[in-house]
Amino acid sequence: MSGRIRIVGGSLRNSRLDVPGLPGLRPTPERVRETLFNWLAPMIEGARVLDLCAGTGALGIEALSRGAASACFVEPEARAARAVRDNLRRLKAMGGEVAATDAQGFLRGTARPFDLAFLDPPFALNLWGALAQGLEQGGWLAAQAWVYVESPRDVAPTLPASWSLHREGHAGEVRFALYRRALPLS
């Protein structure tokens, strides 16, 4: 393991996550996670969470720490997926499952609706639009789901029209935004 990051709040507050030293692994900064979970505070309890490009798993583990019912971590890199599993086990974080596959492959599987999805793909791969469409069209989001999107500050990802911006912020060269899925009444 090459580093550690801290869980900011909830039952696992101040717990450390072991983070493997992998090229391109970019944990969401503590300050950003704290802001995001302040925004999510009213709805996180009991939520079904999808950490689609898990990396360190910090976003999903933070959600479990703050009362989410479950979190599915999707991570194709074997060492990163193993680190997420090990952190979940060591912290006794119940409700976490790890899918060791890539996000696009995962989204081609059998869908189940999530209340909250974290969309933070490796920046160099430019997958925001494809993954957002997969989430939206594949049955992965509950009707009023929340979607967190992290991207470079100067990138405006193309997202589904049914996602409306709730809040956004910037930290250094990163833009972070929370969207609410709002389907038209039929």
Domain ranges of the chain: 3-22+29-181
pTM score: 0.94
pLDDT-derived band of residue 20, with 50, 70 and 90 as boundaries?
confident
Q: Tell me, which fold does domain 3-22+29-181 have in CATH?
A: Rossmann fold (3.40.50)
Is residue 1 pLDDT above 60, yes or no?
A: no
Q: How confident is the prediction for the chain on average, in pLDDT?
A: 93
pLDDT digits (tens, 9 = 90+) for 66-112: 999 999 999 999 999 999 999 999 999 999 999 999 999 999 999 99
pLDDT at residue 109, rounded to an integer: 95
Is residue 163 pLDDT above 50, yes or no?
A: yes
Average pLDDT score over residue span 157-177: 94
Coil, strand or helix: which one is 24? Answer: coil
DSSP state of 101: S
pLDDT at residue 24, rounded to an integer: 74
Percent of the chain beyond pLDDT 90? 84
The angle at the Cα of 95, spanning 78 to 104, to the nearest 5 degrees, equals 45
157, 149 contact by CB (below 8 A): yes
Q: How many helices (H) and strands (E) does the chain have?
A: 5, 9
Containing 70, the helix (H) or strand (E) segment is: strand 70-74
C-alpha span between 141 and 143 (Å, rounded): 6
Average pLDDT score over residue span 63-67: 97
111, 138 contact by CB (below 8 A): yes
C-alpha span between 114 and 75 (Å, rounded): 17
Average pLDDT score over residue span 145-165: 94
Is residue 63 pLDDT above 90, yes or no?
A: yes
